[in-house]
Structure 1
Amino acid sequence: MALGFDLAREELETYRGTNPRPDDFDRYWKEALAEMRTVDPQIEIEPDPDFQVPFATCSHLWFTGVGGARIHAKLLQPKAAVEPHPAALQFHGYMHYSGDWAEKLNYVAAGFTVAALDCRGQGGLSEDVGGVKGTTMFGQIVRGLSDGPEKLLYRSIFLDTAQLARIVLAMPDVDETRVGTMGGSQGGALALVCAALEPRIRRCAPIHPFLCDYQRVWEMEQAKDAYHELRDFFRRHDPRHENEAEIFRRLGYIDVQHFASRIRAEVLMASSFDDTVCPPSTQFAAYNKIEAEKSMVIFPDYGHEWLPGFLDDTFRFMLAM
């Protein structure tokens, strides 16, 4: 099957990515994780005063992330669980937030603890301490790019996912052998990264993951929509592209495809061939590097949107942990 703007399907199945992987990628993330582990998370759990249901406790989970930011997640815990039970970590799309309580209750009713992260600086309650407190909303891919790899904002967001996983895995009523990650778009990227940075994650269900293969996005002239800040960055900071190679090398530190080989969780991934926001080849760049057990569900006629039936597939996939 040929795609109108991307590779043919047989090429997608062997595509290995374009954006360079920094030579010190492993050292960079080893040091980042070591920094995260030195942070006192100062965990606080506060029941929500306005939303409670008979079978679940709905709470606000707060913890301190790298750089001192206070990070928020919605935490839903089943009241009737009498022995260690599974958990689901949920991640949201770019500039969105952790979502409504009610949309998570199917997992809680099935006996799961659910933790849904608010990414720092986006639409939820987490704090962004990169110069200002509160939301800054746009330009997060390129935030810190001019300051060096250690200042990339997604370094902190990726570490927040791993820190949330560590907190949930340590809960006495959670079975640490049955914890999964899920999300769509940015959430799909974070589901993969979390599973890569926390090897105890058992299952991972990403939908059309974002933040993959930036240079491929650029070369396809798809630096628009969610990736528009790549074009904006070049226009404002490198209009002649004199530093293009170094810019894409630095972006390689936060390129999801370079995390994929670290994943030990079983992966169920969904991709759609008409996706012009996160082109299929960029998603396959990550998928093809996953060495763990994996499967891909394809939606040939869909774009970057809701994919019918895949939430049900994900639910069954997680129940089978």
Structure 2
Amino acid sequence: MPLIDLPLEKLHTYEGRNPRPDDFDAYWDRALKEMKAVDPQIELRPSEFQVPFAECFDLYFTGVKGARVYAKYIRPKHAATPHPAIVQFHGYSGNSGDWSDKIQYAALGYSFFSMDCRGQGGLSEDVGGIKGTTLRGHIIRGIDDHPDQLLFRDIFLDTAQLAGIAMSMPEVDAERVGVIGGSQGGALTIACAALEPRIKRLAPVFPFLSDYKRVWEMDQAKDAYQELKDYFRRHDPQHKRAEEIFTKLGYIDIQFLANRIQGEVLLAVGLSDTICPPSTQFAAYNKITAKKQLEIYPDFGHETLPGFSDKTLQFMLGL
């Protein structure tokens, strides 16, 4: 088996390297309070894409700081009500993708929601307003401002807000909602279930946004994490502020949210992943105290993991 990280027996006990801010819990409690005070101003518009067995909508809502956030919403026409729902999140810089790869859940009688992350490749807004650099990345966006200005704070809150909106739909059973996503979507799956603990089941794939200091120490601040190296080279070339910077990134480190999860977890990891190193994923997985199951792909990296989509669907049939 290729070894790009710790041996598997050490991965199972690895607890992470990134510092956790002392006020982490208060930070997220304050953030959730802000989110819950927002009037979402939900808008549903019938989409141009339609299928015989479901209704497809362009859904918009207002998130924190006033951004309008977009999601695809597919509602089965002939399902019993209330019925289960799935919420999906996409990879870094991408968008919610095509309608046609989501309709299998509607065919099973599930409502389905898929969000565009604010400021990335879809239709959701980035309202800006932070001090400091915005060069090449959302991880570092807001790092030179107050921690409340970190962009991923707002994206994490958008995930929880969308899950709450899904649960509020009269056709959806609020106790039978699942969350899925890979890479950034895997990170947002974990964040969503942590910040909206009513999530019943979640299936993250090789989650991003975990254990930033470990990424740096492994010399893996490239590809999706390239912005970390760019930031240090331009703004702290001698690493005099390294502890401060990594501690601030700790507010948006999913490993520290993982213990809030109450739903059942099915997580997939490729042990040859050089984009999101396995140890960073285990740092989050090992902190989950809810019922959980790990699917390991020894020879696979940040790529399609054979059979896991089928396992995810079967897992979600248990909602």
TM-score, with length taken from structure 1: 0.97
1:320 Cα deviation from its structure 2 partner: 1.1
- Aligned residue number for residue 105 of structure 1: 103
1:206 partnered with 2:197: no
**CA offsets 1:236-290 (integer angstroms, 9 cap, x no match):** 1101100000000000000000001000010000000110000000000000000
1:24-39 mapped onto 2 (5 Å cutoff) = 24-39=23-38
Do the aligned residues in 2 keep the contact of 1:121 with 1:137 (CA within 8 Å)?
no
Secondary structure at 1:129's aligned position in 2? coil
Aligned equivalents of 1:242, 1:173: Cα separation in 2 = 54
Report the aligned-residue RMSD.
1.2
1:255 partnered with 2:253: yes
2:40 counterpart letter in structure 1: P
Secondary structure at 2:70's aligned position in 1? strand
1:76 partnered with 2:74: yes
1:278 partnered with 2:262: no
- Aligned residue number for residue 194 of structure 2: 196
1:81 Cα deviation from its structure 2 partner: 1.5
1:238 counterpart letter in structure 2: D
Secondary structure at 1:5's aligned position in 2? coil
Stretches of 4+ aligned residues off by more than 6 angstroms: none
1:9 partnered with 2:8: yes
1:148 Cα deviation from its structure 2 partner: 2.3
- Aligned residue number for residue 122 of structure 2: 124
Aligned equivalents of 2:304, 2:213: Cα separation in 1 = 26
1:71 Cα deviation from its structure 2 partner: 0.3
Do the aligned residues in 1 keep the contact of 2:80 with 2:109 (CA within 8 Å)?
no
TM-score, with length taken from structure 2: 0.97
1:315 maps to which of 297, 313, 318:
313
Do the aligned residues in 2 keep the contact of 1:95 with 1:137 (CA within 8 Å)?
no
Size of the aligned set, in residue pairs, is 316
1:82 Cα deviation from its structure 2 partner: 2.9
1:1-321 mapped onto 2 (5 Å cutoff) = 3-48=2-47, 50-131=48-129, 138-321=136-319
Secondary structure at 1:114's aligned position in 2? strand
Aligned equivalents of 2:159, 2:291: Cα separation in 1 = 22
**CA offsets 1:146-201 (integer angstroms, 9 cap, x no match):** 11211100000000001001100011110111100000000000001000000100
1:306 Cα deviation from its structure 2 partner: 0.6
Secondary structure at 2:275's aligned position in 1? coil
Secondary structure at 1:192's aligned position in 2? helix
1:92 Cα deviation from its structure 2 partner: 0.1
**CA offsets 1:66-119 (integer angstroms, 9 cap, x no match):** 010000000000000132100000000000000100000110100110000000
Unaligned runs of 5+ in 2: none
Percent of aligned positions that are identical: 63
Unaligned runs of 5+ in 1: none
1:34 Cα deviation from its structure 2 partner: 0.3
Aligned equivalents of 1:295, 1:282: Cα separation in 2 = 17
**CA offsets 1:12-62 (integer angstroms, 9 cap, x no match):** 0000000011010000000000000111100000011x2100001010000
